Structure 1
Amino acid sequence: MNAPTEINETHRVQFPQLDVPPRLLLGPGPSNAHPRVLQALTMRQVGHLDPCFIQLMNEIQTLLRYAWQTDNPLTIPVSGAGSAAMEATLANTVEPGDVVLVGVKGYFGHRLVDMAGRYGADVRKMMKPWGQVFSLEEIRENLETHRPAILALVHAETSTGARQPLEDVGELCREYNCLLLVDTVTSLGGVPLFLDRWGVDMAYSCSQKGLGCPPGISPLTLSPRAVEKLHRRKTTVPNWYLDMSLVSKYWGDERTYHHTAPINMSYALREALRLVAEEGLAERWQRHQDNVELLWQGLEDLGLTCHVEKEYRLPTLTTVRIPEGVDGKAVARQLLDEYNIEIAGGLGELGGKVWRIGLMGFNSRRENVVVLLEALDRVLQKHQAK
């Protein structure tokens, strides 16, 4: 066979072997993955219907139920980043005209509004300034006014560092005959969560924050009440890839092929969840709380203030107010360039006003807090001396 003569060689570039700097990821995510998780990621592949992999799927589901404190049968990892699991909750349970009430107190409340609207929901909003949370009475008043089919709340608002209390909200939702959807992206694996006790019907998360795993696979759980709403749909789920009436057959007894699962990411997630169970939830939650309190005290010693009232601060993510006259982006860039430490600036209404500092999963360690505070002190002294 004659060799082809018309190959376009324009993009045949010889790049060097991949090398990345040793960053300490103390922003809002991703966090650094545990070495055991990275080791699991590199293991050889099997097929997505291999008996070995099916056993691994069962183990992931069991471990996810522990991490979330739920007995929901439909508890699985979605093949995609956290926003895929976020969209899956809405795609499966929202039908055109359904009233969806969203608590908006930060960037990701607005994202829920956007997604629900795309699926034809009659979206209603209850609003709070960024960094505050909703009281139970405010939630009741809005349920009474709007009578939604779904109430969507962000438990851990990644843009503000605020933790929304959920105790008794599920009971309210049952009183008003609606489903409770909760964003646990920045809380799973680092903040107390009791989905069944709190009456949560739908929750989603991600792999790259409190679980300490690379991004690309995302926990999702639907209660029997949510599954019942899915099965009562008058219309087809408008997102084929995220249609849980199909995907659940792969994760259920049928093991019916839907799409090729991310094999190696599943290995990594299993190991991350195994580490959660090995440490124990109570111990893990306490570790995150102990380390963030050390951070808060250190920030105070540097003359810095946190954006969120202490009672509602997340142990996984802290928003720190940028001092007047300090270039927040320049400080973050200097930490990255000189110390290999990543922190992030604010999103949306908090853009240019705060830094976001994450202590999540494997990264929630005392030595990381000390290193960050020392580096931040040096960088701030330089900037404030200008």
Structure 2
Amino acid sequence: MAYDGNSMTSRTYLDWNATAPLRPESRAAMVEALDRGGNASSLHAEGRAARSIVENARRGIAQLVGAETKNLTFTSGGSEANALALSPGWGADVLLVSAIEHPSVLAGGQFAKADNLPVDVNGSLSLTGLQVALEHVSRRGKRAMVSLMLANNEVGTIQPVKAVAELVYAAGGLLHVDAVQAAGRIPIDINDLGVDLLTLSAHKIGGPQGIGALIRRSDKLHLARPLMRGGGQERGLRAGTENIAAIAGFGAAAAAVRVNLSSEAAMMRALQERLEDSLCNAVEGAVVFGSGVPRLPNTTLVSVPGTKADTLLIALDLEGMAVSAGSACSSGKIAPSHVLAAMGVASELALGAIRVSTGYATEEKDVDRFLIAWRKCVTTLLKRQQVAA
């Protein structure tokens, strides 16, 4: 996908896991909402119109994951939704999280700390490790909350959530799933997964930045102390005037995903296969992480021994390629990936990892352009190292 801006027409955007470009449907819904104005808590006609926008969007987003409309709470994004979910106020004493979670989950939310659970070489949660941890919590007379990504944001590994749910509920615990990266790439049904709480973020599916949602599977699950208090908005779970335009954009993006998911996912899978086959053939020693297990159809994390991600990113950027070195949630810093470290990847290989992520508007020509640029940059960097040595 090439940018439309005058200075960016020759660039190719392949960093959809960081943020997806705004869908036309979402942009149109936001503009209409901005033109209408009104506060959704007001009782006059303008307020009721604003409330209608919010509730229509809430209904459509809930439908995207098979949830009941009343159980969806809007937040400022995925990180806030995770922080709202990770609270002892839901009735848990101990927080268990996988070692490859998003920083907003690893931070522990409102728990004093989070205990990390191991993953295997492909980034899949160790069910044995989870079982041991749950038994340890039970022996202490405590109740566990487990938080797990549905799909990893760096490697794309899809987690065995159903199996995790069985273990968690057998131990009397609660289960939160961060589905931010999975939405718009694979089908999601909160009831089929069997999770208590689920997080979404609009800007990963082509909606605006700054809006997300926490969804409960059942309204019988209550939060004793919400993260943001002081108003009655969102049924008391999240105070603050609703961001009408962003919510409208979120709802429109969710509606587009519901209609187009099957075709978009198939297209992304075909591009992934094209990309990864060519990567492994283009440069000797190239490694695609997580290739041995089910992954998101749009995510590829690749490394070549002897390369450094920071240097490679600069070179690719100069070639017009927008990609990343894994997660984009560390204020632009490039550091060894905690995900790859948890997977047992050697630091030298991990430091060269580049993430390529596609989306609904990516085309074959975008992948082909990247492959040409990547091979050129990797080959040049390796030659320079050989000369320096």
TM-score under structure 1 normalisation? 0.78
The number of residues matched between the two structures is 345
Cα gap change, 1:240 to 1:34, in 2 (>3 Å): closer
Q: Which amino acid aligns with 1:276?
A: V
1:42 equivalent to 2:31? Answer yes
1:89 equivalent to 2:69? Answer no
Residue matched to 1:249: 235
1:77 equivalent to 2:68? Answer no
Residue matched to 1:383: 381
| Cα deviation code 1:315-344 (max 9, x no counterpart) | 2322111x23333222222222231x2111
Distance 2:81 2:108 in 1: 12
TM superposition shift of 1:121: 4.5
Residue matched to 1:310: 292
Residue matched to 1:355: 354
1:300 equivalent to 2:280? Answer yes
Equivalent residues of 2:118, 2:129 under 8 A apart: no
| Cα deviation code 1:155-209 (max 9, x no counterpart) | 2222343221212322332222111101111111112322211211101121222
SS at match of 2:288: coil
Distance 1:384 1:120 in 2: 46
TM superposition shift of 1:275: 1.0
Equivalent residues of 2:87, 2:111 under 8 A apart: no
Residue matched to 1:146: 137
TM superposition shift of 1:133: 1.0
Equivalent residues of 2:199, 2:215 under 8 A apart: yes
Distance 1:165 1:45 in 2: 44
| Cα deviation code 1:291-311 (max 9, x no counterpart) | 322222222222322121331
Distance 1:92 1:45 in 2: 40
Distance 2:305 2:163 in 1: 40
Cα gap change, 1:76 to 1:374, in 2 (>3 Å): farther
Cα gap change, 1:34 to 1:307, in 2 (>3 Å): same
TM superposition shift of 1:65: 2.1
Residue matched to 1:125: 116
Equivalent residues of 2:96, 2:147 under 8 A apart: yes
Distance 2:165 2:288 in 1: 30
1:25 equivalent to 2:13? Answer yes
Residue matched to 1:240: 228
Which of residues 369, 373, 376 in structure 1 aligns to 2:367?
Answer: 369
Cα gap change, 1:305 to 1:113, in 2 (>3 Å): closer
Distance 1:52 1:354 in 2: 48
Residue matched to 1:345: 325
Distance 1:290 1:93 in 2: 44
Unpaired segments ≥5 residues, structure 1: 1-17, 252-256
Segments ≥4 residues shifted beyond 4 Å: none
Equivalent residues of 2:157, 2:293 under 8 A apart: no
| Cα deviation code 1:117-166 (max 9, x no counterpart) | xx245643322367421244443333222233311112222234322121
Task: Choose 158-167 or 121-130, whichever is displaced more.
Answer: 121-130
Distance 1:167 1:205 in 2: 18
Cα gap change, 1:367 to 1:261, in 2 (>3 Å): farther
Distance 1:282 1:167 in 2: 22
TM superposition shift of 1:250: 7.3
SS at match of 2:276: helix
Equivalent residues of 1:156, 1:314 under 8 A apart: yes
TM superposition shift of 1:94: 4.9
Distance 1:35 1:381 in 2: 38
Which of residues 290, 300, 315 in structure 1 aligns to 2:270?
Answer: 290
Equivalent residues of 1:130, 1:160 under 8 A apart: no
Residue matched to 2:211: 217
Distance 2:113 2:361 in 1: 40
Cα gap change, 1:221 to 1:47, in 2 (>3 Å): same
| Cα deviation code 1:247-275 (max 9, x no counterpart) | 43279xxxxx9422222212321221121
Which of residues 275, 278, 288 in structure 1 aligns to 2:259?
Answer: 278
Equivalent residues of 1:94, 1:121 under 8 A apart: no
TM superposition shift of 1:89: 1.0
RMSD: 3.0
Distance 2:209 2:264 in 1: 20
SS at match of 1:219: strand
Unpaired segments ≥5 residues, structure 2: 41-46, 327-335, 341-349, 385-389
